[in-house]
């Protein structure tokens, strides 16, 4: 991979350490699931992937790998993408100035969005409402969304509700 790819990943918000590992990722279970997901995007109407599992299994790396590999899998030009850790997302969703609103709008509309470590944030009602709006907007617009989490399927449903769970 090139320095241009590193710069793009930085612009998209991917952490440098995750980018470097993703650029030479091996076929872990998480990367294999990401490859299948990218293939499914091309073959049918699939747009959301949840990579769940324990700490250190490579979920974040697989998500970053997806960002790097997406154009190679039949989608030509690089569209706008975003990689956000949930803590940063929590801060962003809680801000209401014009710049923050613009970034929230970008998260809703970007071609690919990675939400890393969902389930680690402090869950408040305002965050829940804004997170629900973000996921719903991406679902309605068929935005490609990759979520990493340590939560089990049941824990995810209990934490975020059936509506969000069903969209994923």
The pTM of this model reads 0.80
| DSSP element (H, E) containing 107 | helix 98-109
When pLDDT is cut at 50, 70 and 90, the band that residue 76 belongs to is very low
When pLDDT is cut at 50, 70 and 90, the band that residue 97 belongs to is low
* Beta bridge pairs of residue 118: 149
What is the mean pLDDT of the segment spanning 52-74? 76
Contact by Cβ (8 Å): 79, 68: no
Q: Which pLDDT does position 79 carry in this prediction?
A: 54
Q: Which pLDDT does position 154 carry in this prediction?
A: 93
Contact by Cβ (8 Å): 142, 112: no
Tokens found for residue 160:
């975020």
Percent of the chain with pLDDT over 70: 82
When pLDDT is cut at 50, 70 and 90, the band that residue 158 belongs to is very high
Contact by Cβ (8 Å): 63, 21: no
What does the mean pLDDT of the chain come to? 78
| Separation CA 97–CA 27 (nearest Å) | 42
Reported as a single tens digit per residue, the pLDDT across 19-38 is 888 888 788 888 888 877 77
Would you put residue 53 in left (φ > 0), alpha (ψ -120 to 50) or beta?
A: left
Contacts of residue 81, Cβ cutoff 8 Å, sequence gap at least 6: 12, 67, 70, 110, 111, 112, 113, 114
Tokens found for residue 168:
């994923």
Is the pLDDT at 120 greater than 70, yes or no? yes
| Separation CA 70–CA 64 (nearest Å) | 10
Is the pLDDT at 94 greater than 80, yes or no? no
| DSSP element (H, E) containing 81 | strand 81-85
Q: Which pLDDT does position 16 carry in this prediction?
A: 83
Higher-pLDDT residue of 168, 44: 168
């Amino acid at each position: 991979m090139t320095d241009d790819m590193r710069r793009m990943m930085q612009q998209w918000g991917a952490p440098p350490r995750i980018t470097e590992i993703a650029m030479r990722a091996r076929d872990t279970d998480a990367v294999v699931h990401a490859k299948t997901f990218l293939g499914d995007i091309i073959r049918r109407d699939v747009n959301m992937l949840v990579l769940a599992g324990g700490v250190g299994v490579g979920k974040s790396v697989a998500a970053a790998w997806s960002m790097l590999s997406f154009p190679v899998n039949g989608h030509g030009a690089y569209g706008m993408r975003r990689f956000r850790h949930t803590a940063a997302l929590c801060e962003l969703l809680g801000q209401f100035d014009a710049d923050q609103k613009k970034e929230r709008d970008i998260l809703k509309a970007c071609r690919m969005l990675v939400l890393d470590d969902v389930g680690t944030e402090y869950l408040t009602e305002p965050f829940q409402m804004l997170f629900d709006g973000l996921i719903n907007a991406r679902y309605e617009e068929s935005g490609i969304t990759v979520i990493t989490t340590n939560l089990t399927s049941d824990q995810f449903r209990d934490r975020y509700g059936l509506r969000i769970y069903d969209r994923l």
